[in-house]
Structure 1
Amino acid sequence: MTIQPKSALRLKTNWTPATDGESLAYSLTLTNLSSKPMQGFKLCVSGPARIDPAAVVEGGSLTARLSNHSELSPPASFVLEPNASWTVTARGLSYPLRHWTDGANTAYVALADGTTLPVAVAPTQAKGDNAPLKRGAEIYPVPTVAPVPVAIVPWPNNVSISGRAPVPMGFALKAKGAEAEAAAATFGELVDGLFSVEGIVRPEAEGGLPVSLSLADDFGPEAYSIRFAADRVVVSGRARNGLLYGLITLGQMLRGARHHPETFLFPAEGEIRDEPALGWRGTHLDVARHFYGTAEISRFLKIMAWNKLNRFHWHLSDDEAWRIEIDAYPDLTRIGAWRGHGLPLPPLLGSGPARTGGYYNKASVRAVVAQAGRLGIEVIPEIDVPGHCYAMLQAIPELRDPAEHGFYQSVQGFPNNCLNPAREETYQVLETVLDEVIELFPFKRIHVGADEVPIGAWSGSPEALARLTELAGPEAAAAHARRLNVITNHHGADDIDGSGAAVLQAQFLARIQRFLASRGCITGGWEEAAHGDVIEKEKSFLNGWRSVEVSAALAGRGYDIVVCPGQVYYLDMANSPAWSEPGAAWAGWSEPQTLYEFDPVKGWTDEQKKHFLGVQCCIWSEPMSDRGVFDRLVFPRISALAETGWTKPERKSWERFKALAGLMPILYGIAAVG
């Protein structure tokens, strides 16, 4: 690992787990390597770790805290002399540190005159664990002898090939008709973006093997076949997406035979017939915690298509940021898209004191949606409401009940972060926002979040308590009011089922769904959207994130379910429990083999399986300020998820997958060292 940019100030952080005789210790040591003493300063740090507001702090004090942004002050009159150090230790965190990326990854010093000084930060060290810190994708080596003769991920339904043909230089695509021409053009765009110098698509004059694209009616919408002959290949399908998937399979076979001729071949004859096991094969990407520019999104979509994934769940808003342009409310991006010292949103999750962030303007969104469509990917935008709205409320503070008092706190440590369901202004703003969103996303699936509303939400709002009295009676309102100023959400999202918060959220969601249905849209939500059973099941779907058992129960109640349990399909979770691995740990950990072999419908009844839409991995971005960490956490697990979505369970094989996965592209091209 490398230290951050040069500075006269250095920060080292150390983690000591709790023992029987001593509480946990998160120690931060600031060293002044300049020639000048420093006084009247505050040390500002951010990273996934959250110092608990009630923590005992030794050597200083916690003077401000918003989620993972903490300001620590030394004792009054303290002077940090040149070449001296100051250590402050917090004995209380919102969750114990498990991996090196949990600790502070950005710091700066704020001076009394309002200026800031940069601080170089080293990765957090854990007591007793000095293993080299890992980053970069784990690339499985391609073996000399593989279980199969061709390289294809995800593996097809039926492979009946024989013989060994000379490996083509590339493919000369012969397309007739609009669907075939569109598939050929998209495949050319895809391989040019992922493997630009390999010339996978090239004319016959440059050695391209003729590949004919043929439309046929006896295929499903994503199905295809490939027939091999001595002098040409024929790819058949009913529609553009099937033809594109056939070409992707062909391209993977070519690359395998070209790069590893001792292991893989290009067949002389035979046929491959293929179609996906599941209709929903998705990936979620959180762009609120860390921003990804359109160039990154574009390449990510290409990688999704190369894995035959077909749903992109774009998480565009959260407490930490708002990332999509809304003409009616420019402050959403003017304020909500940026973080920095002195701004309404402070540095969070590793962003520094300078103004940083970004958002997608409407032209960029349209370009992303159009590209995704060409690649066979439907885009589902998420505007996360009524919780996770801290950034939105900083931009539009008039949405708050003006008489609201006290606090409630979310699981991530954001106070009073929920849109008020009792205010008519809430619906006026949201309907305007959603109308602009709907216009940009033709798939007509709009995800509204509905997750992790704190159990104390709106307990200090007279308007909300009055509405709760109407809905559930005065006793329910009185009980809810008693949750005011009570800190919950320390070690996991509150279970709000049956609470006053759940009653108010249910009313909110029912109204939002009616609005979306009036615009011809299906409403998506995380599993908490089922509280109260008020949303119309025929016009909605849920993402089940807690466990397969919870998802099965919701399917049994009639909800269409996309399975994405955090323990396995959340790709921000670390690959192993080792401190040297990056990532989070609140849901556990999941190595690629565990994810690959996981059964998303284990124990489901046939009736429950009728509501099983498919699978989705979720990329939450909290630990991913380092793009090498992104590559390590996402690859090859995204390909393992893709094979679960495409390949029938009885045809899956971990040994085969492991032999082929090393040929799959990764986003930033950062591979693990050693």
Structure 2
Amino acid sequence: MKKFLWFAGAWCIGLQVTLAQSPRYPIIPYPQQLEARAGEFVITPATSLVLPANPSPYMIETAQLELLLTQALGKPLPTVKKAVKGAIVMRQNPALAGEEDYTLEVSSQELLITAKAPAGFFRAIQTLRQLMPAEIEDPKAPDLERVAIPAMSLKDHPAYGWRGMHLDVARHFFSIDYLKKFIDLLALYKMNKLHLHLTDDQGWRIEIKKYPLLTSQGAWREFNNQDSVCMEKAVNNPDMAIDTSHIIHQDGKTLYGGFYTQEQLKDLIRYAAARHIEIIPEIDMPGHMMAAIRSYPFLACSSETGWGKTFSTPICPCKESTFGFAEDIFSEIADLFPSKYIHLGADEVEKTSWANSPLCAEVMKANNLKTVEELQSYFVKRMEQFFHSKGKTLIGWDEILEGGISPTAVLMYWRAWVPDAPIKAARHGNQVIMTPGNPLYFDGTPDRNAIYNVYHFQPVPKGLTAQEATHIMGAQANIWTEYIPSEKRADYMFMPRMTALAEVLWTQRADYEGYLRRLNEQYKRLDLLGVHYRLPDLDGFTEDNVFVDKVNLHIKKPLTDMTIRYTTDGSIPDEHATILPDNYVISEPQQIRLAAFSPSGNRGDIYTLRYRKEAYRPATVVKDARPGLKLTYYNGTFKRAAKIKETADSSLRVANAVIPEGMGKGGGPFGARINGYINVPTTGIYSFYLTVDDGGILYIDDQEVVNNDGWHAPFQKSGQVALEKGWHPFKIAFVEGGGGYTLKLEYSVDGGKPQPVPDSWFGAGR
């Protein structure tokens, strides 16, 4: 009997695991606890909806659930006050710990939703939405006769209170309609903060009634060098075209820009609040203020404005008129935004004008300030006192540590090359929001590693105790828009990467393979929502490919309903291009351009594949090689790996193609060469994948295999080479521009899965 009970119990556990991993529960972020059960609850137009005993606090959420069900079934469900068999029941549960906590108990007889507060009911509704067919998102789709919700027992709550996204609307401007779409996506994946970067050198985007020139002049500019880059890229990628709806012609000039009125923002704030998303405004001071200084020149320390050694001229913290201006601005901001937080920015401040100002010398002497960093701290602390008078909490980028930080300020950590900044702040007692550039700057062009890197991000820095870690509020990803000129490009840059961050911050439990399976179930919904997301990567090739005799190009589709189209005449594949056959035979050198398309017509990355014919490169005789490689270090700034100077500063031996931690003086720029030999175990076509930040080039047999040169965020490029079994000369040239670096080398052979190159393959002379 015991044996039978053990078998039955094991079968139940196995059933739960199988069901939980199946597409029955394609929820992102995945719940904290989900006990899968057999069966389902079927919703039809006759299903009753039971409201909470005291429905008034939950009227918005009740209406949202009713709208969701009406959207699916074509008619509203009847509402009743008391539970009946076969009903959807909403019930307040004061025993739950947090405002966003909720539970779902689903059987064939009842669908019970409990929550402590309105936010919890809203999060539960988003979970139900993801469990419903994607077709409910299509207003043109036929009404469903039934919707089946899989049976389960679910208990859920967020791991972190700050689950955010940032959008820079200053460099390139985005419509209110797009911001609402952006908010809808945040809400769908249980994010709860929207950080709006409203001002910068390139544009002032918010109406300030006391200073009308900030928008009548400061919201508009002529095309700049960033626009030129976008226009150049738009030749091959229409998503990079400047949005013409934000272009005007005035006084014989073509101007780009726009701004939000305070009434528009009030409407947006209400829209976000209904979805339990808090909007945090950022007015960046004292740097990044040229849009304001051009309109109100008195804000600068002198008439010499523009671009300094590193950044633009800041406002002057040594004039009382500057503080009067800032307080006027933030008075209107505080009245407009109900958020308890205001972001001051305070990053990347060019302090040369302060150092040269006699007035600043007097202020520094009067306040016993010894450095311009302390002068910045003086400005930040004065502004924080004003924020407190308005009932607000100051957030600043991590530069606010320099010169001293108030214990009540919130630090937003972004400089990955200053790893001790969040640790210092947490130990000082400050609250910290994690947003390091790698991997949470979503303006960096995504590659096939982008989602993996976000999903494996750890919000709590190493070195903090459990108590100190409580100061980590959570994290957010940032979208800086210098090179994001359109709404479609913005979609591409943050989706689906944001879904990985959503799971990290809500669930905080790694299940990457399960997440990818669930993500595949989300794409159809995103198509119907009109999201121009980045399609999953295509594999089975590199950018530069070789063949000895002939080769078959076979691409396994990551999504079954995806269509792959190609051209061979150099043109960009569109929806009319030829469909790539299952096995495309290549026997002559050629160039192929291909792209995947979703059923909605969303086009993925455009891949340019170059094929050349070559014989296997003969192996080299290497006698008495020592394990590892030689790394030669070059101090200085090198814009390209191909231009590293010849005189080395130092050298060391490394086990693999890696840059050891601590390279570069104080996180500064440097170059490196890694030399030796690679010993490949079999004759074959080897693909190499080089991911670098900033730039690098891989050479084998003294010939270039992968060129990923130039300063850029972490990005992968690839190439192939035909190698005989044995030793081959190996070299990587690498440059770092300062601010944190990445070097990662992977390989595959004859079309296999990419994997790290083993240490045992490398050798160097004695």
Which bracket does the TM-score occupy, shorter chain normalised? 0.5 to 0.7
Unaligned runs of 5+ in 2: 1-18, 80-85, 138-146, 232-241, 248-252, 536-594, 597-766
Q: CA deviation at 1:591?
A: 0.7
Q: Does 1:159 align with 2:34?
A: yes
Tell me which of 352, 361, 372 is aligned to 2:261: 361
* 8 Å Cα contact 2:166-2:476 kept in structure 1: yes
Alignment counterpart, residue 308 of structure 2, candidates 401, 404, 409: 409
Find out whether 1:178 has 2:56 as its counterpart.
yes
In 2, Cα distance between equivalents of 1:249 and 1:145: 14
Determine the C-alpha separation between the residues in 1 that align with 2:48 and 2:199.
Answer: 43
1:484-507 deviation line (CA, Å, top 9, x unaligned)? xxxxxxxxxxxxxxxx33122111
Select 1:627's aligned residue among 467, 470, 487: 487
1:426-464, Cα deviation, whole Å (9 max, x unpaired): 111110110100011112211100111124242333322
Instruction: Give the structure 2 partner of residue 230 of structure 1.
Output: 108
Shift of 1:169: 5.5
Hey, what's the Cα distance between the residues in 1 that align with 2:438 and 2:74? 38
Separation (CA, whole Å) in 2 of partners of 1:258 and 1:406:
54
Range with bigger deviation, 373-382 or 158-167: 158-167
* Structure with more of its chain in strand, by fraction: 2
Partner Cα distance (1:279, 1:149) in 2: 28
TM-superposed deviation, 1:542 = 1.0
Question: Aligned pair 1:543/2:425, yes or no?
Answer: no
Partner in structure 2 of residue 511 of structure 1: 382
Q: CA offset at residue 254 of structure 1?
A: 1.4
Write the distance in 2 (CA, Å) between the matches of 1:542 and 1:285. Answer: 18
Is the CA contact (8 Å cut-off) linking 1:339 and 1:348 kept in structure 2?
no
> Does 521-530 or 599-608 show the bigger shift?
599-608
Partner of 1:332: 214
Equivalent AA in structure 2 for residue 546 of structure 1: R
Tell me the CA shift for residue 467 of structure 1: 2.1
How many Å separate the matches in 2 of 1:362 and 1:267?
42
Deviations 1:377-412 (A, max 9, x none): 1111100000010101112112223x554876264x
Find the partner of 1:321 among 203, 213, 222: 203
Equivalents in 2 of 1:225, 1:349: separation in Å? 47
1:390 aligns with 2:285: no
2:350 alignment counterpart: 454
Cα distance in 1 for residues equivalent to 2:159 and 2:135 = 26
Aligned to 1:480: none
Aligned mates of 2:103, 2:89 — CA distance in 1: 12
Task: Provide the C-alpha distance between the structure 1 equivalents of 2:392 and 2:305, rounded to a whole number of angstroms.
Answer: 37
Distance 2:326 2:491 in 1: 35
Opposite residue 77 of structure 2, the aligned amino acid is: P
Report the residue type matching 1:369 in the other structure. Answer: I
Aligned to 1:593: 452
Shift of 1:635: 0.9
Which residue number corresponds to residue 610 of structure 1? 470
- Name which structure has the greater RCO, CA cutoff 8 Å, separation 6+: 1
Equivalent residue for 1:12?
none
TM-score (norm 2): 0.57
TM superposition shift of 1:266: 4.7
Match of 2:397 among 513, 518, 526: 526
1:254 is aligned to: 132
Q: 1:405 to 1:182 in 2, by over 3 A?
A: closer
CA, structure 1 residues 270+668, in 2 after alignment: closer, same or farther (shift >3 Å)? closer
Specify which of 99, 114, 119 is matched with residue 241 of structure 1: 119
Q: Between Structure 1 and Structure 2, how many residues are aligned?
A: 474
C-alpha RMSD of the superposition: 3.2
Distance 1:371 1:467 in 2: 44
1:257 CA drift (Å): 10
- Residues 1:624 and 1:188: Cα distance change in structure 2 (over 3 Å): farther
| Displacement of 1:645 | 0.8
Deviation by residue 1:539-598 (Cα, 9 ceiling, x = unmatched): x21111113543223212222100110011111112239xxxxxxxxxxxx610111011
Q: Assess, with a 3 A threshold, how the Cα gap between structure 1 residues 348 and 468 changes in structure 2: closer, same or farther.
A: farther
Greater C-alpha radius of gyration: 2
Work out the CA distance in 2 between the residues paired with 1:358 and 1:200.
39
Q: Alignment partner for residue 439 of structure 1, among 335, 343, 349?
A: 335
**Matching residue of 1:309:** 191
Give the secondary-structure state (helix, strand or coil) at the position aligned to 2:112. strand
Q: TM-score, normalised by structure 1?
A: 0.65
Give 1:180 deviation, angstroms: 2.6
Q: Is the 8 A contact 2:401 2:421 kept in 1?
A: no
After superposition, the Cα gap between the structure-2 partners of 1:334 and 1:542, relative to the gap in structure 1 and judged at 3 Å, is same
Q: State percent identity of aligned pairs.
A: 28
**Offset of residue 227 of structure 1:** 1.2
**Shift in CA distance, 433/519, structure 1 to aligned 2, threshold 3 Å:** same
Written as runs of structure 1 = structure 2, the 5 A alignment for 1:334-353 is 334-340=216-222
Q: How far has the Cα of 1:602 moved from its partner? A: 4.1
Does residue 274 of the first structure (1) align with residue 166 of the second (2)? no
The CA distance in 2 between the partners of 1:173 and 1:419, in whole Å, is 57
SS for the counterpart of 2:354 is: coil
Tell me the residue number matched to 1:217.
94
Q: Please state whether the residue corresponding to 1:429 is helix, strand or coil.
A: helix
Which residue of 633, 645, 656 maps to 2:514?
A: 656
Do the aligned residues in 2 keep the contact of 1:339 with 1:346 (CA within 8 Å)?
no
Structure 1, unpaired ranges of 5+: 1-143, 260-264, 477-499, 578-589
Task: Name the SS for the 2:330 alignment partner.
Answer: helix
Contact 2:29–2:506 (CA under 8 A) maintained in structure 1:
yes
Change (3 A) 1:291 1:408: closer
Q: Distance in 2 between matches of 1:201 and 1:573?
A: 44
| Residue 573 (structure 2) aligns with | none
Distance in 2 of aligned mates of 1:460 and 1:550: 29
1:51-93 Cα offsets, whole Å, 9 max, x none, are xxxxxxxxxxxxxxxxxxxxxxxxxxxxxxxxxxxxxxxxxxx
